[in-house]
Amino acid sequence: MEVSGARAAVYVGLVSIVIALAWRVLNWVWFRPKRLETFLRQQGLSGNSYRFLFGDVKESSMMTKEAKSKPMNLSHDITPRVLPHLHQTVSNFGHNSFIWDGPTPTVIISNPEDAKDMFPRYGDFEKPRLGSLAKLLATGLANYDGEKWAKHRRIINPAFHMEKLKKMVPAFNECCSEMISEWEALVSEEGSCELDVWPCLQNLSADVISRTAFGSSYQEGRKIFQLLLEQIELVVALFQSVCVYIPGWSFLPTKINRRMKEIDKKIKSSLEEVINKRKRAMKMGDGTKDDLLGILLESNFKEIQQHGSKERFGMSTEDMIEECKLFYFAGQETTSVLLVWTMVVLSMHPNWQHLAREEVLQAFGNNKPDFDGLTELKVVTMILNEVLRLYPPAYTFYRNVDKKTQLGKLTLPAGGQITVPTLLVHHDKELWGEDANEFNPERFSGGVSMATKGRLCFFPFGWGPRICIGQNFALLEAKTALSMILQSFTFELSPSYAHAPHDLKQSSIMLKESTSKPMNLSDDTAPRVLPFIHQTVKNNGIQLLESSYLLFFFFFFFPKMQMPSLEQHLEVAMKKEEEYFNSRRSKLNSQLKVYNLSTFQDEESNRKEIQQHGNNNNNVGMSIEDVIEECKLFYFAGQETQLFYFAGQETTSALLVWTMILAFPNWQDRAREEVLVVFRNQKTDFDGLNHLK
């Protein structure tokens, strides 16, 4: 009887545990979300009704996939593409609305007054907890809360004081000079080149971080960055798979998990070696360096001394490793993205590119930028602020609500989230006027305060006590790089550019993966050469073939070669052509046949066209502007030594080498037979070439 009673007690206990667990799960996925929804609606908030377990996740995922499936028009109205679900929610339900992140409601805070109230209250609104994958990239200051955040912020602050940043400008100049020299090597004395600037600007930002963070140890810093870059690519790839949603997946010994842990170990050991080496040098009396690591170590040492030399009051080596990782992760991405969008926008608005160049040349001439001059650049600052408004580095800011909290007129329940959608606020016509989606740096001519009219509607780096500690570093680097680019080049968008914000990382990863190994001897080259386009067309249809992803390609020209401009040269040339056209007609025609410029009409043909329709009819024939444009096309298409294409080879040489590579000897024999029949052992001639079938 006692045994039976004990068994019954065990069974009752097990059943109770199962029931308790089942209740907790059911409460989490249903009852709790429904209670929170009722509470939010009582506050006057609107949104979709809660859907079991997934909430709005499926709808949001489908909308994002649809938005990114094709490029958009060349417009700055990017919100429907980048944040389609948030954009639709606000459009349907207004500013006082919420969305569902699974079973968790997220209240949208787009009112400037509420955002201004939220940002300083970092104790009431803490950052969401990092997952295991995100921790592999970086934790550090940006992801801490409470006392740990306050301590780290206090220790790191001195490294980003303006007086310290002033000493880093020479390092900025050195890194930028190396990139500029590489670009100049691609551009001949009187020509141009087509260049994907995104990887160049990524490398620039990485070099800047390496030099300014580690000083003389920047070579070790470069190696660390390459490892971190690989880690980012692996994490992004995992986030795009279903594996990331399987609990405990990161602990399985898969190939990618093993590689990520191996990289993490290498990064930490390399950083630890650099940090310990610097600590030993400081103990030996070697003066503190003016790089970020040296300043950080000095500040940390002072913090420990102020608390009686107790190590626990400072940052541990592990803490410093995480902060160094964060320097790379946040600093490199932010500045390179800002620079590339600035170049895109200035290519779309060449008048502002011209104004910025004039200001830079007036401030520095051909000399390298200096700190005092950079801080006085008004037009460049206006442009950068407007780019940060249209293309902010952080599209949204999320915060947890762990206890019932008052925010403005809203009472927020415990267990939810809030989000401040930077992109929506920056593009809000009620706040910025009807031209909110247009590029207009003039709005910042009186500074940020005047542009925002004292409201919190411009916060690309956050706001309040937790504002990005590196914003001055990022802006100073961006001003330096942009100034040196403007000193050396003019630039415009390449014809291969497609406006598709937010696809860059994915296309970059796919291209790197596809070119990392040789392919079989096959003619099916599309998956290797254009992997992202190939995949997009495969998934969404051939109609997207013409332009389906973001390529930051630009044509670069030396500004000095534009004086006098190409148009002025061509106008003079056309006038001279009138004087001796008849004597040169036969030679000109033969040249035009060689270059196959079929749309170009010589002066006689153009004159006949006008005469046939009456000499006073301005709607027929080619104007001088038309002829100039055709000559420009002729110039850039025909100059082998002056135009460099995406693959790094001129069109004809690329065609020839691929023709010789093709592994079909039977066709080689047939081609040789035809050539020998037509020309025998004589040199080729025009008529014979035209008969080669």
Beta-bridged to residue 565, according to DSSP, are none
Written as six digits, the tokens of 575 are: 């006038």
Distance between CA 339 and CA 334 in Å, rounded?
Answer: 9
Sign of CA dihedral 670, 674, 679, 683: negative
| Among candidate residues 127, 86, 92, the one with its CA nearest the CA of residue 110 | 86
| Among candidate residues 670, 510, 542, 550, the one with its CA nearest the CA of residue 198 | 550
Q: What is the DSSP letter of 286?
A: P
Cis peptide before 564 (omega within 30 of 0): yes
Collect all residues with Cβ–Cβ distance below 8 Å to 216 and sequence separation of at least 6: 289
- How many CB atoms lie under 10 A from the CB of residue 32? 18
Helix (H, G, I), strand (E, B) or coil at 420: strand
Collect all residues with Cβ–Cβ distance below 8 Å to 172 and sequence separation of at least 6: 208, 212, 476, 477, 480, 481
| Among candidate residues 269, 71, 290, 252, the one with its CA nearest the CA of residue 159 | 290
- Give the 3-state secondary structure of 667-686: HHHHHHHHHHHHHCCCCCCH
| Among candidate residues 403, 400, 353, the one with its CA nearest the CA of residue 379 | 353
**Strand bridging mode 104-108 / 410-412:** unpaired
| Among candidate residues 580, 638, 553, 677, the one with its CA nearest the CA of residue 195 | 553
| Among candidate residues 658, 632, 523, the one with its CA nearest the CA of residue 191 | 632
What are the φ and ψ backbone dihedral angles of 107, each rounded to 5 degrees? -85, 130
Which string of DSSP letters, residue by residue, matches 175-224?
Answer: HHHHHHHHHHHHS-TT-EEEEEHHHHHHHHHHHHHHHHHHGGGHHHHHHH
In degrees, rounded to 5, the angle at the alpha carbon of residue 88 between the alpha carbons of residues 85 and 91 is: 150
- What distance lies between CA 307 and its chain's CA centroid? 43
Distance between CA 643 and CA 648 in Å, rounded?
Answer: 10
Give the CA distances from residue 618 to residues 574, 614, 615, 621, in Å, rounded to whole numbers and listed in that order: 19, 9, 8, 8
Sign of CA dihedral 499, 500, 502, 508: negative
Helix (H) or strand (E) holding 411: strand 410-412
What are the φ and ψ backbone dihedral angles of 193, each rounded to 5 degrees? -145, 155
Alpha helix ranges (H) inside 284-403: 292-306, 317-348, 350-364, 371-375, 378-390
Alpha helix ranges (H) inside 541-664: 566-595, 603-612, 624-638, 651-661
Helix (H, G, I), strand (E, B) or coil at 225: helix
Burial of 200-228, coded b for 16+ CB within 10 Å and e otherwise, reads: bbbbbbbbbbbbbbbbebbebbbebbebb
| Among candidate residues 221, 313, 202, the one with its CA nearest the CA of residue 273 | 221
Q: Is residue 200 a known part of a binding site?
A: no
Q: What is the DSSP letter of 367?
A: S
Binding residues: 468
Binding residues for heme: 468
